[in-house]
C-alpha cells in the first residue's frame, strides 16, 4: 500500500499532522519508535516539570482545554492533554508504535521507509515530526562511570530512586535544572552545579480555582480569548522583534526585570554575585521561574560555581579540590539539538544523503524543505523559531504551509516538490546574516548555536514567520516531474 503521507513521530507535531491528514481524507500512517505518544512530554517526567508557556496558549488552536490546573501547566497534564486529543480525534488506528525508522529512500514518486525489523512503508510524502529536544546530551565528565550512586538524565527520570533527604547533585542551569532544583530543595539536599549563570525572569504560577475552570467550561469565547491572550501574544511579538538587536529597548527592559529579580530576591551578596550572568538577557533561552531563587537559598541548598574536574565514587570533585559527596547525580545537561531525524539514513534524489546535505550544519528552507529531498517536510526542524513561546503555534503555522505543498505535489505530472538550492542558499545567507547580529549570537553558549557558533534558529519576528507560512513562494520550489525524479 502506498500512503499519501507518512508521519514520523507521534509527539505534539505528529498528532497535529495526523489530525489534519485525517480531516482531509488522506491515506496516512504515523510511525513512532516508542510505545506511547507524547514525544518530549512523554520522555520528560522529572520532578518540577512545568511548561513555562501559559497553559491556555499551550494548546492546539482547535482544541482549547478548560481543565488546566495552573497558569503554567505541569508536564503530566500536558501529556494527558495530548492523550485526550489523540483519543478524541481517533488517531490511534493510524499509529504503529514500537516502529523505529532506520532509513528512507526516495524512489522517484514516493519514499520507501524501512523500520528496525526491515519492514517497509511507501508514502508520497514524509513529515518528519521527530522533535528537537529529543536526544539526551550526556556530558563527557571524567569519572562519571565511577560514581557509586544513581546517575539520572533529566529526560530519563528513574522514579524508583528515593529522593527525600538525599544529597543530590544537579548539573546544569537550563530551564530543566532550575525546575528540578526548585522542586527538590524542600525535600532533598540540593547541590546545584552551575557552569554559567542564567537570567531568570520573574513569573507567578497561581492555580486556577474550580470556579474559574467552571467558567472556562461554559464560556468557549473566554477560552478562545485565553488561547490567544493579547498580552501574551504582544510579549511574544515584542521579544521576537527584539531578537535582531541585542541592544534594543525590549531586551534592555527584559534584562532589567531579570536584574531586579536577582537583586531583590537574593540577600547574600556572595551568592548574588555567583548568580549574576555576564551576557545579554535573552542570549540563552530565558528561564521563567517563580521559585528558583527561593529554592537555592534554602538552608539545605548550595550553589557550586567551581568547575567540575571529575566525578568520583562518592561525589563530584571541583577545580578547587573539594569533593562534594552526594547520593544521586542528576544530569540536567540538555539535548543534542542538531540531530533532528538522525540517526535515520535519508537518501533523496541521485543518491544524495541528508548527512551530505547537512555536512556543514542542518538546515531547511524556511524550516521546511531541503533541496533534492522531494516531499520530505520538517515540523520544528532546523531553523524553526524557538524561544519562550508555544511551539504548538509554530507547528500549526508549519502545517498550514506543508498542507499546501502536499496538495501541490498531488497535481498531475508532479512527482514531488523540494526547495530550490538557490532558494535555500539565499534563505540561509539572509538568516545567518541576521542571526549573527541577533541576541542569540551576542556572546553566550546555548543549544541555539550550530557548530560554527551561528544561531540555527529563525532570527526574525513571530509575525514574519506567520506571514511566510501563509503561502509557499512556488518559484522557490522545484516541481520534480515523474520521469526526472526516477532518472
Q: Which residues here bind ligand NAP, judged by CB under 6 A?
A: 50-53, 133, 139, 141, 154, 171-177, 179, 195-196, 285, 308, 332-334, 445, 447
Residue among 36 and 305 whose Cβ is closer to ligand NAP: 305
Q: Which residue has the cell 511548561?
A: 51
Burial class (CB in 10 A: 0-12, 13-18, 19+), 306: middle
Rounded CA-CA distance 87/146 in Å is 45
Positive or negative: CA dihedral 249, 254, 258, 261: positive
Q: Which residue is nearest to ligand NAP (CB)?
A: 174
Residue among 60 and 111 whose Cβ is closer to ligand NAP: 60
- 331's CB contacts (< 8 A; 6+ apart) are 136, 138, 139, 151, 152, 153, 154, 171, 172
Least gap, CB of 218 to ligand NAP (angstroms): 29
Cell digits of residue 228: 490567544
Least gap, CB of 246 to ligand NAP (angstroms): 18
Residue among 326 and 419 whose Cβ is closer to ligand NAP: 326
Least gap, CB of 171 to ligand NAP (angstroms): 5
Contact criterion met (CB below 8 Å) for 168 and 190: yes
Least gap, CB of 486 to ligand NAP (angstroms): 41
Contact criterion met (CB below 8 Å) for 409 and 418: no
Least gap, CB of 132 to ligand NAP (angstroms): 8
Residue among 201 and 373 whose Cβ is closer to ligand NAP: 201
Which residue pairs from 448-454 have beta carbons closer than 8 angstroms and sit at least 24 positions apart in sequence? 448/284, 448/285, 448/386, 450/338, 450/361, 450/362, 451/338, 451/361, 452/360, 452/361, 454/361
Residue among 28 and 335 whose Cβ is closer to ligand NAP: 335
Rounded CA-CA distance 287/295 in Å is 15
Residue among 65 and 333 whose Cβ is closer to ligand NAP: 333
Contact criterion met (CB below 8 Å) for 408 and 474: yes
Least gap, CB of 443 to ligand NAP (angstroms): 13
Residue among 332 and 423 whose Cβ is closer to ligand NAP: 332
Residue among 99 and 198 whose Cβ is closer to ligand NAP: 198
Using CA atoms, how far residue 434 sits from 259, 428, 448, in Å, is: 27, 10, 14
Least gap, CB of 86 to ligand NAP (angstroms): 21
- Cβ of 384: how many Cβ atoms within 10 Å? 23
Least gap, CB of 200 to ligand NAP (angstroms): 12
Least gap, CB of 48 to ligand NAP (angstroms): 9
Rounded CA-CA distance 350/402 in Å is 24
Residue among 445 and 451 whose Cβ is closer to ligand NAP: 445
Residue among 384 and 478 whose Cβ is closer to ligand NAP: 384
Least gap, CB of 154 to ligand NAP (angstroms): 6
Amino acid at each position: 500500500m502506498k500512503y499519501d503521507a507518512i508521519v514520523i513521530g507521534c509527539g505534539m507535531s505528529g498528532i497535529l499532522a495526523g489530525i489534519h491528514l485525517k480531516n482531509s481524507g488522506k491515506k496516512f500512517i504515523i510511525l513512532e519508535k516508542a510505545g506511547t505518544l507524547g514525544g518530549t512530554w512523554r520522555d520528560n517526567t522529572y520532578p518540577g516539570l512545568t511548561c513555562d508557556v501559559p497553559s491556555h496558549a499551550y494548546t492546539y488552536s482547535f482544541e482549547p482545554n478548560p481543565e488546566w490546573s495552573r497558569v503554567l501547566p505541569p508536564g503530566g497534564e500536558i501529556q494527558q492533554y495530548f492523550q485526550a486529543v489523540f483519543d478524541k480525534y481517533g488517531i490511534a488506528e493510524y499509529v504503529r508504535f514500537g516502529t523505529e525508522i532506520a532509513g528512507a529512500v526516495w524512489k522517484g514518486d514516493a519514499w520507501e521507509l524501512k523500520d528496525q525489523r526491515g519492514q517497509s512503508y511507501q508514502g508520497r510524502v514524509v513529515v518528519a515530526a521527530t522533535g528537537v529536544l529529543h536526544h539526551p546530551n550526556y556530558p563527557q565528565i571524567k569519572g562519571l562511570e565511577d560514581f557509586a550512586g544513581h546517575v539520572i538524565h533529566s529526560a530519563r527520570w528513574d522514579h524508583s530512586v528515593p529522593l527525600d533527604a538525599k544529597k543530590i547533585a544537579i548539573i546544569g542551569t537550563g530551564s530543566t535544572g532550575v525546575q528540578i532544583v526548585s522542586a527538590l530543595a524542600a525535600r532533598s539536599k540540593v547541590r546545584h552545579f552551575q557552569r554559567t549563570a542564567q537570567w531568570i525572569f520573574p513569573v507567578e504560577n497561581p492555580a486556577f480555582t474550580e470556579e474559574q475552570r467552571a467558567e472556562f467550561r461554559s464560556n468557549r469565547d473566554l477560552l478562545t480569548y485565553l488561547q490567544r491572550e493579547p498580552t501574551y501574544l504582544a510579549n511574544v511579538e515584542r521579544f521576537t522583534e527584539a531578537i535582531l538587536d541585542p541592544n534594543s529597548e525590549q531586551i534592555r527592559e527584559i534584562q532589567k526585570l531579570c536584574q531586579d529579580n536577582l537583586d531583590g530576591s537574593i540577600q547574600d551578596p556572595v551568592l548574588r554575585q555567583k548568580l549574576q550572568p555576564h551576557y545579554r538577557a535573552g542570549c540563552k533561552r530565558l528561564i521563567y521561574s517563580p521559585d528558583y531563587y527561593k529554592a537555592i537559598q534554602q538552608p539545605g541548598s548550595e550553589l557550586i560555581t567551581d568547575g567540575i574536574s571529575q566525578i568520583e565514587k562518592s561525589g563530584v570533585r571541583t577545580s578547587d579540590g573539594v569533593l562534594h559527596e552526594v547520593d544521586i547525580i542528576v544530569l540536567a545537561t540538555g539535548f543534542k539539538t542538531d540531530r533532528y531525524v538522525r540517526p535515520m539514513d535519508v537518501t533523496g534524489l541521485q543518491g544524495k544523503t541528508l548527512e551530505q546535505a547537512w555536512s556543514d550544519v542542518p538546515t531547511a528552507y524556511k524550516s521546511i524543505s531541503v533541496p533534492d529531498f522531494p516531499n520530505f517536510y520538517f515540523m520544528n526542524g532546523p531553523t524553526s523559531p524557538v524561544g519562550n513561546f508555544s511551539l504548538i503555534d509554530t507547528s500549526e503555522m508549519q502545517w498550514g504551509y506543508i498542507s499546501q505543498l502536499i496538495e501541490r505535489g498531488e497535481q498531475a505530472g508532479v512527482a514531488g516538490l523540494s526547495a530550490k538550492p538557490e532558494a535555500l542558499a539565499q534563505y540561509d545567507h539572509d538568516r545567518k546574516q541576521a542571526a549573527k547580529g541577533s541576541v542569540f549570537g551576542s556572546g553566550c553558549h546555548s543549544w541555539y548555536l550550530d557548530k560554527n557558533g551561528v544561531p540555527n534558529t529563525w532570527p526574525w519576528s513571530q509575525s514574519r514567520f506567520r506571514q511566510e507560512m501563509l503561502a509557499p513562494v512556488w518559484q522557490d520550489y522545484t516541481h520534480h516531474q515523474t520521469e526526472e525524479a526516477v532518472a
